[in-house]
């Protein structure tokens, strides 16, 4: 009984410490977009990736991934927005080969479109890298 109790305590302690022992992964990205959209997507990428121990660094050369990102809408009318924001994203490797592409429609603000895009990029990069 005494050994079982010690084994349970050791298992519990190691399970609590294991996430802290994971190293931080730093990924260099080049985001091709307007300056405002670039900063918004970059902020959302780092905000969403923090829980997965990933940090993104914005670079112009020597990147791990090149992200082509654009947002359209909503169109403002005198009565308010006429349509939701939509974003289109393509992600390439350093050699220029397209890794994946996707669109996120139906977001009411560019901030929401960037948030949905960041989540999808992180999900797919984690799947590609096995992290």
Which bin fits 130, alpha (ψ -120 to 50), beta or left (φ > 0)?
left
Tokens 């948030």 sit on residue: 115
State how many domains the chain has.
Answer: 1
Q: Is residue 7 part of a domain?
A: no
Residue 86 lies in a domain: yes
Contact present, 67 and 74 (Cβ < 8 Å): no
In a domain, 37, yes or no: yes
- Which pLDDT score is estimated for 55? 93
Whats the size of the chain, residue-wise? 131
Mean pLDDT, contiguous 10-residue spans, the chain (131 residues):
65 56 81 89 92 91 90 58 67 90 74 85 89 76
Any alpha helices (H) in 22-109, and if so which ranges?
Answer: 35-49
Whether residue 4 is contained in a domain is answered as no
Residue in 36, 111, 30 with CA at minimum distance from that of residue 65: 30
In a domain, residue 41? The reply is: yes
Single pTM value for the model? 0.71
pLDDT tens-digit profile of 35-51?
888 999 999 999 999 89
**Burial bucket for residue 45 (CB in 10 Å: 0-12, 13-18, 19+):** buried
Q: Residue 52 domain-assigned?
A: yes
Q: What is the CATH number of the domain that holds 37?
A: 3.30.160.100
Partners of 88 in beta bridges: 70, 103
CA–CA gap between residue 21 and residue 24 (Å, rounded): 9
Q: Is 38 a domain residue?
A: yes
How high is the pLDDT of residue 42?
A: 93
Q: Is residue 80 part of a domain?
A: yes
Full domain range(s) for residue 55? 24-129
């Amino acid at each position: 009984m005494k050994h079982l109790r010690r084994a349970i305590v050791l298992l519990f302690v190691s399970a609590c410490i294991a996430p802290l022992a994971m190293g931080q992964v730093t990924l260099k990205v080049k985001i091709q977009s307007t300056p405002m959209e670039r900063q918004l997507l970059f902020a959302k990428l780092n905000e969403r990736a923090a829980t997965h121990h990933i940090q993104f660094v914005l670079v112009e050369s020597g990147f791990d991934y090149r992200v082509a990102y654009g947002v359209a809408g909503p169109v403002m009318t005198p009565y308010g927005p006429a349509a939701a924001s939509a974003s289109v994203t393509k992600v390439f490797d350093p050699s220029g080969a397209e890794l994946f592409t996707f669109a996120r429609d139906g977001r009411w603000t560019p901030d929401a479109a960037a948030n949905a895009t960041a989540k999808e990029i992180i999900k797919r990069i984690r799947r590609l890298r096995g992290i």
